């Protein structure tokens, strides 16, 4: 199933994925609807956050990346309505953001994901895994 994620500088050495911090856990949002992802990206831009690109990826591949990196992947279904303050973060960014002025420089110092059990037998999946690891 395809999902939509927010990427910064996709395809470059500085590529990054948007995440939020919820109860001490890093959460990557997987939007079911492209319109919801575009709206969220617009809200980030309105908060002077670097402008992300909405990219469509396979849900299983993003979830695998998140699992290996120690992140939580959270699906935001189309038409999602929040029922708590925590749920509100799935449709609108937090009022305050982390300092992102030097996020490109900090990208190189990011935490390494845990090593994979071994190389994938599928070269396409292995290439995608390397691309996602570069997001860190």
**CA angle, 79 as apex, 54 and 81 as ends, to 5°?**
110
**pLDDT at 111 (0 to 100):** 39
**pLDDT at 103 (0 to 100):** 44
Measured between alpha carbons, how far is 59 from 5 in angstroms, rounded to an integer? 10
**pLDDT at 108 (0 to 100):** 44
Among the ranges given (7-16, 70-79, 90-99, 123-132), the one the predictor scored with the smallest mean pLDDT:
90-99
Token reading at 52: 């992300």
**pLDDT at 36 (0 to 100):** 92
Is residue 122 very low, low, confident or very high in pLDDT (cuts 50, 70, 90)?
low
Decide which of 79 and 71 is more confident: 71
pLDDT tens, residue by residue, 19-78: 988 888 899 999 999 999 999 999 888 888 888 999 999 999 999 999 999 999 999 999
Map out the domains of the chain as residue ranges: 2-133
**pLDDT at 90 (0 to 100):** 75
List residues bridging with 73 in a β-sheet. 28
List residues bridging with 80 in a β-sheet. none
72-76 and 25-31 strand pairing: parallel
Measured between alpha carbons, how far is 92 from 70 in angstroms, rounded to an integer? 23
Give the mean pLDDT of the chain.
78
């Amino acid at each position: 199933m395809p999902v939509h994620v927010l990427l910064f500088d996709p395809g470059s050495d500085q590529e990054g994925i948007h995440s939020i911090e919820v109860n001490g856990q890093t959460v990557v949002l997987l939007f079911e609807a492209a319109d919801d992802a575009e709206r969220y990206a617009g809200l980030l831009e309105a908060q002077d956050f670097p402008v992300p690109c909405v990219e469509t990826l396979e849900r299983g591949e993003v979830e695998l990346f998140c699992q290996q990196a120690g992140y939580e992947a959270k699906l935001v279904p189309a038409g999602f309505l929040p029922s708590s303050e925590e749920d509100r973060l799935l449709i609108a960014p937090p009022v305050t953001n982390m300092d992102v002025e030097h996020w490109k420089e900090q990208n190189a110092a990011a935490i390494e994901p845990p090593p994979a059990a071994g190389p994938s037998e599928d070269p396409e999946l292995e290439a995608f895994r390397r691309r996602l690891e570069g997001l860190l």
